[in-house]
Amino acid sequence: MLARRFMKNSLGRVKSYEIAKKSINMKPRFISFNSNIDKFKIKPTPPGGVIGDVNQAYKPPEADYFHGSYHWLYERSIAVALLPLSIYSIFTAVTGGVAYPMIDVTTGLSALFYLQYEYLSCITDYIPKRKFQLWHNIAKSLLYSGSAVAAYGLYDIHTNNNGFTNLIKKTFVDDESNLYIFGRY
């Protein structure tokens, strides 16, 4: 009676004694990672690229203003706007002209948006969602988080330092504060 009470609790559940008794009779089980790694595997595409039945009606994709031809238009307009802005920033940095903060911020943000569009195009072309679903989502998440870190870096450059143009100026022009030609230090 005491042994039975030890094996079962008040709700009638089996205690560890019976579980151990059952596990002795079981065959050894080897560790298998197949079920955990399946989501990382590449999904095979159906033959001919046809998904579904041939007789199903065609469902056109919904209009998305951030992809397709609109995406290319945004990318080209940012590239065209970036050319004079970057030339102005480099010219101002080298000649020591006046660097206006709004032009400086516009240069940094347009460079960031342009690079994000380009990397997003690479991810869309070379890591298609249809085949590499998990890796596509990971790559896009890394791109967006990297863009957020870069945007914070631009904010930090513009608030704590003198801006993007001053960063270019420090790159091209040597620091001459410790240069003494005819004087003593």
185 residues of the chain, pLDDT tens digit each: 445 544 555 555 555 555 555 555 666 666 665 566 666 777 776 666 666 677 777 777 777 776 777 778 888 999 999 999 989 988 888 888 888 889 999 999 999 999 999 999 899 889 988 888 899 999 999 999 999 999 999 999 888 888 878 877 777 777 667 766 776 55
The CATH code of the domain that includes 106 is 1.20.1300.10
Is 74 known to sit in a ligand binding site? no
**In whole angstroms, what is the distance from residue 124 CA to residue 67 CA?**
10
137 occurs within a structural domain: yes
Handedness of CA 119, 125, 127, 128 (dihedral sign): positive
Residue 21 lies in a domain: no
Residue ranges making up the domain that contains 122: 69-172
**Residue 42 maps to a domain:** no
Residue 141 falls inside a structural domain: yes
Residue 164: inside a domain: yes
Both structure tokens of 78:
């940012």
**C-alpha distances out from residue 71 to 78, 98, 106, 151, 170, Å:** 11, 34, 20, 21, 35
- pLDDT at site 142: 98
Confidence (pLDDT) at 2? 47
Instruction: Look at residue 37 and tell me if it is in a domain.
Output: no
- Residue 46 covered by a domain: no
- Domain count of the chain? 1
Asked if residue 16 belongs to a domain, the reply is: no
